Amino acid sequence: MPRPEARPEPTAATRAEEAEQARRVSLRRVARLFRPHRGPLAVVVAVIVVSSTVAMATPFLLRAVIDDALPRRDVGLLALLAGGMIAVAAVTAALGVVQTWISTGVGQRVMHRLRTDVFAHLQRQSLGFFTRTRTGEVQSRITNDIGGMQTVVTSTATSIAANLTTVVATAVAMVALSWQLSLVTLVVLPPAILVSRRVARMRRTLTAARQRELADLNVTIEEGLSVDAAALHRTLGTGPALVERFTASSARLTDLELRSQLAGRWRMATMSVVFAAIPALIYLGAGFPWTVGDLSIGTLVAFTSLQAGIFRPLSGLLDVGVQVASSLALFSRIFEYQDLVVDIADPEHPVELRDVRGDLRLSGVTFTHPGGDRPAVDGVDLEVPAGTTLALVGETGSGKTTLGALVARLHDPDAGRITVDGVDLRDLRLADLAGIVGVVSQETYLLHTTVRENLRAAKPDATDAEIEAAARAARIHDVVAALPEGYDTMVGARGHRFSGGEKQRIAIARTLLRDPRILVLDEATSALDTETERAVQHALDDLARHRTTVTIAHRLSTVRHADRIAVLDHGRVVETGTHAELVEREGRYAALAA
């Protein structure tokens, strides 16, 4: 079997585009995520300021110990100073716990809101988005990208405040002790800032590449480990090739992870060495004639203690800058999804339909799939009076399924309008429309949960009695009741616990619970054997009784008794009439029925 080709490395143009996109992410927009939590954040900042200010007492207490208490052998003063040091440590530790508790809570709430907002926004996207987007890509952005931002979101604001406050307070204390020695410390700031900016740019580019590779890895998992995919690869014998593809993707991800972690480490390590060398310079400076006369031993020890303390928060500030710059690549991927335009949305001023009759009318409906070179539906005019049945027939690709999707408003027409009781579908809330139009298709999707919960998905407040009544009407109750766990039986991934006919009847029961006035039956029995088709057809007949029904038929035997049949060809209606009328005309329908 040929070795699967590795995904090509992104070009310089692609990397530049991603870097530019990350740069375009506004920090103001990121800050807006925290706006609802201004109160708790203000408390955190206040706690940080108090903690940093209290901590600054320690070097001065240390100077007093060395310069006053020890030389005088004043045990009382020494005990007082030691007690002060312990008190400072206890207060700062307690304040640190409070700070962590509040800031982590805020960060987690921000993450929760971001996850739910993205998920809800994607739920509103049209089928076109999910058709052109890989499922693994969507999952990766919601889980991996938002998860990758978690550290930054939960700790960045407090880290900046804590480190900045500490740096300022420490700098003030250092100047108070010796402004001359403070100048020595400030020498390293410009190169440290320059190095951190370069490291930030490197990590931002690598982060974008890493998340893209991680999305590809998720896609491979989705395509290889779902029930349908596992069956396909088993029957085609492509399992080894899939393993090679996964291995190659994982290896690239490992390399990117390593490069991301090591990016700029040598530069930062060099700065660490410089920071560590500063105390030596301070001791050297203390020996110069213009400082030795004014500098006590206690002051020198206190100053070096402060100097060691200022580099930790300073390094933290620089590292936060690197993390923020890297996270911009993640924010850009999340905001890209948040900025997607919702093609099919609720109207600003929805119309309420009461006592729905189910009169369905299509007037001049035209629709072209994105990227299509010709209309899938072209100027269709049809009328389905309430309580009647319209059958759509035609060859594959004639536009039958597309027309059914338009009736359910899975797409909006490019021209023309579809109305229910005279109201345009676009003037109805999507939730209201879902209660009016029910769809049963050939591809039945069941949730990976119990039979009961699969049915209750259509009507969350349905009682067990209502569920069983719907199952009886769909002629699936006896099958479910005979199972050891009855309605609490897990259906398995995509309903693989049940046969095709059983899944169809569960779907019919689910639709019955919703009790829609209009039904769209999209080739609901085309993939079933004759005996199973007969059982499902009886259930469909019961379901369609007294409802407006649009049946998309593959087998013409299922539409003989429809009140009206429309024959489609290349998106156009070429014939309409009853079965008998169309056979007599000896036109396209008669040819299909032959």
What CATH number has the domain bearing residue 252? Answer: 1.20.1560.10
Which two three-digit tokens encode residue 215? Answer: 């999305």
Cβ contact 328:25 at 8 Å: yes
Structure confidence at residue 407 (pLDDT): 92
Let me know whether 311 and 372 are in one domain. no
Q: How far is CA 69 from the centre of its chain?
A: 61
Let me know whether 553 and 456 are in one domain. yes
pTM over 0.95: no
Cβ contact 439:522 at 8 Å: yes
Q: Which of 338, 370, 393 is the last residue of a domain?
A: 338
DSSP class of residue 149 equals T
Q: Which residues contact 317 (CB under 8 A, 6 or more apart)?
A: 160, 163, 164, 167
Residue at 6 is within a domain? no
What CATH number has the domain bearing residue 475? Answer: 3.40.50.300
Structure confidence at residue 532 (pLDDT): 65
**Closest Cα to residue 592, out of 395, 391, 376, 402?**
395
Let me know whether 130 and 49 are in one domain. yes
What's the CA gap between 489 and 82, in Å, rounded?
68
In sequence order, the β-bridge partners of residue 567 are: 393, 575
DSSP class of residue 5 equals P
Structure confidence at residue 380 (pLDDT): 92
Which two three-digit tokens encode residue 453? Answer: 């919960």
The two beta strands, 423-424 and 518-522, are unpaired
The two beta strands, 572-577 and 564-569, are antiparallel
Residue at 83 is within a domain? yes
Residue at 210 is within a domain? yes
Q: Which residues contact 221 (CB under 8 A, 6 or more apart)?
A: 136, 246
Let me know whether 68 and 192 are in one domain. yes
Let me know whether 193 and 87 are in one domain. yes
Residue at 20 is within a domain? no
Cβ contact 347:426 at 8 Å: yes
Structure confidence at residue 192 (pLDDT): 64
DSSP class of residue 490 equals B
Q: What is the largest CA-CA distance in the chain?
A: 122
Structure confidence at residue 13 (pLDDT): 46
Cβ density class 13-33: b for 16+ within 10 Å, e for less: eeeeebbebbeebeeeebeeb
289 SS3 class: helix
Cβ density class 312-345: b for 16+ within 10 Å, e for less: ebbbbbbbbbbbbbbbbbbbbbbbebeeeeeebe
Four-CA torsion 410, 414, 419, 425, nearest 10 degrees: 50
What's the CA gap between 37 and 154, in Å, rounded?
12
**Closest Cα to residue 506, out of 548, 433, 457, 557?**
457
399 SS3 class: coil
Let me know whether 439 and 322 are in one domain. no
Let me know whether 399 and 295 are in one domain. no
Scan for tokens 């998309």, then name that residue. 552
Let me know whether 503 and 389 are in one domain. yes
Scan for tokens 């010796």, then name that residue. 178
344 SS3 class: coil
Mean pLDDT by 10 residues, the chain (594 residues): 39 47 64 84 84 80 82 85 89 86 83 85 80 75 74 67 74 74 68 65 70 73 63 61 78 78 63 67 64 63 70 67 69 83 85 89 91 88 92 88 90 92 92 87 79 87 89 86 87 70 83 86 68 70 80 79 89 90 86 76
What's the CA gap between 311 and 317, in Å, rounded?
10
Q: Which of 273, 306, 338 is the last residue of a domain?
A: 338
Residue 327 lies in domain: 26-338
Residue at 96 is within a domain? yes
In sequence order, the β-bridge partners of residue 490 are: 450
Q: Which residues contact 234 (CB under 8 A, 6 or more apart)?
A: none
Let me know whether 333 and 402 are in one domain. no
411 backbone dihedrals φ, ψ, rounded to 5°? -135, 160
The total of other beta-carbon atoms located within 10 Å of residue 375's CB is: 21
Structural domain count, the chain: 2
What's the CA gap between 230 and 274, in Å, rounded?
56
Cβ density class 137-151: b for 16+ within 10 Å, e for less: bbebbbebbbebbbe
What's the CA gap between 167 and 309, in Å, rounded?
8
Residue at 161 is within a domain? yes
Let me know whether 311 and 400 are in one domain. no
586 backbone dihedrals φ, ψ, rounded to 5°? 55, 40
The total of other beta-carbon atoms located within 10 Å of residue 95's CB is: 19
Sheet holding 415-420, edge to edge: 377-384, 360-367, 415-420, 423-424
DSSP secondary structure string for all residues of 59-80: HHHHHHIIIIIHHHT-HHHHHH
The total of other beta-carbon atoms located within 10 Å of residue 296's CB is: 13
Which two three-digit tokens encode residue 20? Answer: 């530019």
Structure confidence at residue 325 (pLDDT): 66
Residue at 354 is within a domain? no
423 backbone dihedrals φ, ψ, rounded to 5°? -105, 125
Alpha-helix runs per DSSP H in 124-149 = 127-132, 135-140, 146-148
Cβ contact 273:207 at 8 Å: no
Let me know whether 312 and 368 are in one domain. no
The two beta strands, 437-441 and 518-522, are parallel
Residue at 351 is within a domain? no
What's the CA gap between 67 and 71, in Å, rounded?
7
Let me know whether 299 and 429 are in one domain. no
Q: Which of 304, 338, 372 is the last residue of a domain?
A: 338
Q: How far is CA 405 from the centre of its chain?
A: 26
Cβ contact 230:224 at 8 Å: yes
Structure confidence at residue 130 (pLDDT): 77
